[in-house]
Amino acid sequence: ASLARIQQVDPKVRAFLRVDEAGALAAARASDARRAAGSPAGVLDGVPLGLKDLFLTEGVETTAGSRLLEGFVPPYDATVVRLLKEAGLPLVGKLNLDEFAMGSSNESSAYFSCHNPWDLSRTPGGSSGGSAAAVAAREVPGALGTDTGGSIRQPAALTNTVGLKPTYGRVSRYGVIAFASSLDQPGPMTRTVADAAALLQVIARPDVQDATSSDAPVPDYSADLEAGVRGLKLGVPREYFTEGMDPEVEASIREALREYERLGATLVDVSLPHTKYALATYYLIAPAEASSNLARYDGVRFGKRAQDARSLRDVYTLTREEGFGSEVKRRIMLGTYALSSGYYDAYYLRAQKVRTLIREDFTRAFQQVDALLSPTSPVPAFKLGEKVEDPMAMYLMDIYTLPCNLAGLPGLSVPCGFTKAGLPVGLQILGRPFDEAGLLRIARAYE
């Protein structure tokens, strides 16, 4: 059914970069056999899933949305891919994304832009835009995305789906193509909160292959889903309700806040005073780490190599010149500049210090409240082409999602109504480290 639906709608949506029909059908048949024998591998055995094309898949081309990795076939699976296979989920294909996950609209994909199923002239958001669109268009019931500065939550918000960025370290990054290693985190994108809980259950696991993986115990994420919010204190951060927010987005969020009060939660006004530095801090740290991570794409080890290189230096420069798109080049230049010896103290080191202040803002807030509520994105889905020429306008799309990554916290986006034009709005819920269960429960109460 999933493959048929993809055939039917994906020529318009363009969520998939590649469909692994043979692999998916073989896995589905194996699942049928297990079920017939009465021994399914788990509750999700047989449920088809899509993967952002940032996850390494053994024997299946993986490009990160870049020309540079065109034709690259990984020799091994990412840890989360292995876990999904062991749990019996047929993996139907690789989903479109901004090149190396850098972007908020899916338009920096080197292949083609993905379209928002709610309005095909608009972006599904990014960078996990293909994952969000595939779930919203009912091509797959769930997908994995990654979130470095909002790339799971923002596309979820723009497509009326649920997206969960787990606590940094909760889900293994092994075999996930790196963008900014201190911020990257994989997570589930689904239609419902219960589905997100079930999918997180499969992928949240300590992993010796990832040095930053946490060995904190993994709770049962579905156990408290229906517990409601009565008695909870939910913080409303003042700094997340400022100018730049679309009035219809604000109205939907305010209505959600009232609903939480009706459900028995207490709303608490809180302040996260360093929020105003989050954008600048992120756009120093993320490009700095990216410039280092992307140094490995030298034309020797992975993917494509420039054909007419005459010297080793030519191999490096021509391969990178031809292989990387303009947004990736912009990030590499920003990052190498911020890390260069003359500017290191002024930019990178300063950004790390501000990052600590941002994290401390959250620590203080969570002494008063159980979770924080805000919009996920300041605006609903924008038109394809509308912001491509203006990187600063694009970076501003991440204003409410970035601080969570800088602080390493879990964050979730849950559908929160529609604008008059029929565009989805998402509510963001941020929580204490490793309180994914709390976020899911709060989201479920409103869903």
DSSP lists the bridge partners of residue 66 as: none
Using the contact rule CB under 6 A, the part of the chain among 5-13, 96-104, 229-237, 378-386 near ligand GLN is 96-104
Nearer to ligand GLN among residue 20 and residue 147 (C-beta): 147
Residues 68-87 that bind ligand GLN (CB under 6 A): none
Among 117, 149, 411, 415, interactor with ligand GLN by CB under 6 A: 149
Shortest Cβ distance from residue 102 to ligand GLN (Å)?
5
Both tokens of 211, joined, read 């040095």
What are the E-state strand segments in 271-311? Answer: none
Residues 6+ apart with CB under 8 A from 296: 302
Both tokens of 98, joined, read 């901004």
Q: Does 398 bind ligand GLN (CB under 6 A)?
A: yes
Among 48, 74, 90, 150, interactor with ligand GLN by CB under 6 A: 150
Nearer to ligand GLN among residue 45 and residue 98 (C-beta): 98
Question: CA angle, corner 45, sides to 190 and 428, nearest 5?
Answer: 15
Among 17, 89, 102, 253, interactor with ligand GLN by CB under 6 A: 102
Residues 280-319 that bind ligand GLN (CB under 6 A): 286
Handedness of CA 216, 232, 277, 108 (dihedral sign): positive
Q: Does 403 bind ligand GLN (CB under 6 A)?
A: no
Nearer to ligand GLN among residue 180 and residue 204 (C-beta): 180
Question: CA angle, corner 234, sides to 229 and 237, nearest 5?
Answer: 155
Rg (CA), the chain: 21
d(CA 330, CA 314): 20
Using the contact rule CB under 6 A, the part of the chain among 22-30, 148-156, 248-256, 414-422 near ligand GLN is 148-156
Q: From residue 229 to residue 268, what is the string marking binding to ligand GLN with x (rule CB under 6 A)?
A: ----------------------------------------
| DSSP code at position 181 | T
What are the E-state strand segments in 271-421? Answer: 371-375, 411-418
Nearer to ligand GLN among residue 24 and residue 69 (C-beta): 69
Nearer to ligand GLN among residue 129 and residue 237 (C-beta): 129
Q: Does 66 bind ligand GLN (CB under 6 A)?
A: no
Shortest Cβ distance from residue 71 to ligand GLN (Å)?
23
307-327 as b/e: b if 16+ CB within 10 A: eeeeeeeebbebbbeebbbeb
d(CA 86, CA 203): 11
Q: From residue 177 to residue 196, what is the string marking binding to ligand GLN with x (rule CB under 6 A)?
A: --x-----------------
Do residues 133 and 424 lie in contact, with contact meaning Cβ atoms separated by under 8 Å?
A: no
Using the contact rule CB under 6 A, the part of the chain among 3-11, 67-75, 147-155, 378-386 near ligand GLN is 147-155
Under rule CB under 6 A, how many of the chain's residues touch ligand GLN? Answer: 13
Nearer to ligand GLN among residue 102 and residue 234 (C-beta): 102
- By C-alpha distance, which of 90, 61, 89, 93 is closest to 75? 61
Among 63, 127, 160, 291, interactor with ligand GLN by CB under 6 A: 127
- By C-alpha distance, which of 62, 59, 27, 63 is closest to 46? 27
Q: What positions carry a catalytic annotation?
A: 52, 127, 151
Do residues 169 and 214 lie in contact, with contact meaning Cβ atoms separated by under 8 Å?
A: yes
Shortest Cβ distance from residue 184 to ligand GLN (Å)?
7
Helix intervals (H) in 306-384: 312-323, 326-339, 350-368
Please report, as ranges, the residues that interact with ligand GLN according to CB under 6 A: 101-104, 127, 147-151, 179, 286, 398
